[in-house]
Amino acid sequence: MFTPVPLIKGLLITLKHLFMKPVTLQYPDEKVAPFPRFRGLHALNVSHNRSKCVACYLCPTVCPAKCITVEAAEDDKHDKYASKYEIDLLRCIFCGYCVDACPVDALKMTSAYELASYKRDDFVFTQERLLDKR
């Protein structure tokens, strides 16, 4: 025999969801607010108008994707610095190991996540592009 109770229950659930706050966003008009520990695009911290990186090679060593390229050089005061610092984001798995490994707090991960591009070259982030310009 037909009982309308399950039908009514189902309709009530549907109605309840109809008036709930939507969980989807109208991207790209509405942007997602990343969580505080979100791991997005890297940035190199700056000190005295130069990257804080001292080219110690710890981050390329620890990187499981082997996507960091560092070349060291020496300045007039015999301080070591990175003459080349590059991250290939197409290989990066955003694990954050490079940030954890850095002994001088030169590297961080930002909340930037809109990284799509049609060109492969756009995913190779050079030192100039990674410098934290804030």
Q: Which residues bind ligand SF4 (CB under 6 A)?
A: 53-59, 63-65, 67-68, 70, 82, 87, 92-98, 101-102, 104, 106-107
CB of 40 to ligand SF4, least distance (A): 10
The minimum distance between CB 71 and ligand SF4, in angstroms, equals: 10
Nearest approach in angstroms of CB 44 to ligand SF4 is 7
- Of 25 and 104, nearer to ligand SF4 (C-beta) is 104
What are the residues facing 107 on neighbouring strands? 44
Angle at 56 between CA 67 and CA 54, to 5 degrees: 105
CB of 86 to ligand SF4, least distance (A): 10
Nearer to ligand SF4, 97 or 123 (CB): 97
Report the alpha-carbon angle 102-105-108, nearest 5: 90
Nearer residue to ligand SF4 within complex by CB, 56 or 131: 56
The token duo for 25 is 């966003």
**In whole angstroms, how far apart are CA 32 and each of 17, 49, 88, 109?**
22, 32, 24, 17
The Cα–Cα gap between 51 and 48 comes to 8
60 and 68 Cβ atoms separated by less than 8 Å: yes
